[in-house]
Amino acid sequence: MFAVPAFGAGGIVLEAYTGQRAADANRLLGPVLDELAARGFSAGDTVARQIDSKVSRAADDKLPGDFSAQVDKGFRLWVSGKFDDAIKVLVPLVDLAHANSGAFVRDPSLREPLNKALIVLAIAQQRTGDPSAARATFGEVLRAFPESQVSRGTYGPDAAELYETVRRELAAAGKGKLTVKTDDGAVVFVDEVFRGTSTTELSPGEYRVTVMLNKVPSRSHRVVVNAGNETTITVDAKLDQALHTDGWTGFAFGSESERDAHEAPYAAKIATSVGASAVAVVGIEQVRGRPAIVGSLVSLSSGREIRRASVAMEPDPSTDRLKALAKYLAGEEPASGIEVQPLDAAPKETPTGVAPETSGGGGVVAHDEVGGGRWGGWKWITAAVGVGGLGTGAVLLALDGSCSKKTVGTPCPVYDFKAGGIGTIAGGAVFAGISAYLFATQSKEHPKKTAFLAPTGDGAVVGIAGSW
């Protein structure tokens, strides 16, 4: 039996669903997440903050309907000399705008009030004696709105002079290149400005990159461009559209086929991006037509599942069964009450090498593939092998000790079939047990593959049954 190491310290947990997340997901998944947390996995808001800070932020479309009116309010406060009050109004508005890139991608007319908010904020910062903050805000204006003007008549000579100083400094620093690699058909926006080419020359500084695919924005990616260098960023629009970090952390797929194709590789990609040592995925889906809580452990190197198991939701699963699922994902042997799902025919990876799944219980184990079916012919094949083995063993034991060939005047040599007979009967019993299991658990939906493990006197018989 191969030992599968326990792992989890530094790992993360992501949830996955097809369509909307179930209303009772917190209750159902709570024991699984708690047990994984006890074994070193981070989940929920902790992982969301890691993703938001290291990978991307949601490019929401949740600006208030009176965004422009609130910018005007800040402008009036500045005009009246209430600079601190203007800053208190404008800073949250600018932060809100940066967190809602999707709103500006969908409605470019919102860029003008944002430009106004940034200019007024910079001048208010200058008037309150914070020139470094004012220069930083003017730098944002020049990168996002390079055609903007700060007129002396509207904003005063001091503001206009500082703005021109920052412009000259940026020009003297030179340009850098930003290349955005993304899905075919996606449209690229940098600081919410449409870019018609994948490579753009920009002034040095930090930028927000969002792409639009099928009229749906991706998440917002922060990237720093340095003068004289080329920076390349890859935005997977489909991954971004599936990724969720508000309230729960994981993926919401539009269809089962999308989930089957992308759940594991997306999980590995996110885990690698945040520097996690392992990644588990838990969620709710249909297993042979019945709802189940499903968990998997994914290889960071290959983006494939290492182990996968489920717990039926009917009847309502106990806390112990849900914790047993988490323990299995964290490296323990499967316990009673969970159903281990076979993986693809490729070797089963672990963080330290390759090892097949083991039952840990010493008995015959057979598991069906999720959503698949078992070919019905295997129960008849194993039955035939089992009956043949039992019959042959019985014949060998009956002949054991009898005379094999009678010759006048010589001793009679006897058959020595005891060991072979016992071994053959044991093998027949194993296959008879497998057949009984297959007959008892045969699904009407006929899954595609069945894996089995059967102990023998000095080892085990492992097999995978499937349809071709």
48-57 average pLDDT score: 94
Which residues form the domain of 169?
67-173
Establish if 366 belongs to a structural domain.
no
Q: What is the DSSP letter of 108?
A: G
pLDDT at residue 223 in the model: 95
SS3 of residue 292 by DSSP: strand
- For the cut 90, the answer to whether the pLDDT of residue 351 exceeds it is no
237-251 average pLDDT score: 95
Least confident of 44-53, 229-238, 365-374: 365-374
Q: Return all residues near 433 (Cβ < 8 A) that are at least 6 apart.
A: 364, 386, 454
Least confident of 53-62, 123-132, 325-334, 382-391: 382-391
Q: What is the DSSP letter of 334?
A: P
Establish if 165 belongs to a structural domain.
yes
Higher pLDDT pick, 62 / 31: 31
Q: Do 75 and 169 lie in a common domain?
A: yes
Residue 274, both tokens = 């945040």
pLDDT per residue as tens digits for the range 155-202: 999 999 999 999 999 999 999 999 999 999 999 999 988 887 789 999
The CATH number of residue 71's host domain is 1.25.40
Establish if 21 belongs to a structural domain.
yes
370-393 average pLDDT score: 62
Rounded distance, CA 238 to CA 217, Å? 10
The model's pTM:
0.68
Q: Do 391 and 435 lie in a common domain?
A: yes
| Cβ atoms of residues 123 and 156 within 8 Å | yes
Q: Do 253 and 312 lie in a common domain?
A: yes
The pLDDT-based confidence of 369 (bands split at 50, 70, 90) is very low
The pLDDT-based confidence of 425 (bands split at 50, 70, 90) is confident
Establish if 200 belongs to a structural domain.
no
Establish if 9 belongs to a structural domain.
no
Establish if 297 belongs to a structural domain.
yes
Q: Do 445 and 390 lie in a common domain?
A: yes
pLDDT at residue 442 in the model: 56
The share of the chain scoring above pLDDT 70, in percent, equals 77
Higher pLDDT pick, 126 / 459: 126
Rounded distance, CA 303 to CA 283, Å? 18
223-252 average pLDDT score: 96
Please name which of 379, 376, 374 lies closest in space to residue 342, comparing C-alpha atoms. Answer: 374
Establish if 74 belongs to a structural domain.
yes
Q: Do 77 and 162 lie in a common domain?
A: yes
Q: How many CB atoms lie within 10 A of CB 98?
A: 19
Rounded distance, CA 33 to CA 13, Å? 8
Strand order in the sheet with 199-202: 199-202, 176-182, 230-235
pLDDT at residue 330 in the model: 93
Rounded distance, CA 203 to CA 176, Å? 6
pLDDT at residue 430 in the model: 72
394-421 average pLDDT score: 66
- For the cut 90, the answer to whether the pLDDT of residue 357 exceeds it is no
pLDDT per residue as tens digits for the range 119-130: 999 999 999 999
- What pairs with residue 290 in β-bridges? 287
pLDDT at residue 375 in the model: 52
Q: How many CB atoms lie within 10 A of CB 229?
A: 13
- For the cut 70, the answer to whether the pLDDT of residue 118 exceeds it is yes
Rounded distance, CA 189 to CA 101, Å? 9
Using the 3D structure, point to which of 114, 146, 173 is the last residue of a domain: 173
| Residue 12 phi, psi dihedral angles, 5° rounding | -130, 160
Beta strand residue intervals within 254-410, DSSP E: 279-287, 290-298, 305-312, 339-340, 349-350, 353-354, 365-368
Q: Tokens 């007959």 appear where?
A: 439
Using the 3D structure, point to which of 110, 145, 173 is the last residue of a domain: 173
Rounded distance, CA 452 to CA 366, Å? 4
- For the cut 90, the answer to whether the pLDDT of residue 203 exceeds it is yes
Q: Do 80 and 122 lie in a common domain?
A: yes
| Cβ atoms of residues 296 and 370 within 8 Å | no
| Cβ atoms of residues 297 and 40 within 8 Å | no
Q: Do 442 and 381 lie in a common domain?
A: yes
Residue 110, both tokens = 């919102």
Tally of domains within the chain: 3
Burial, 457: exposed, middle or buried (Cβ in 10 Å; 0-12, 13-18, 19+)? exposed
pLDDT per residue as tens digits for the range 370-379: 334 445 566 6
| Cβ atoms of residues 335 and 352 within 8 Å | no
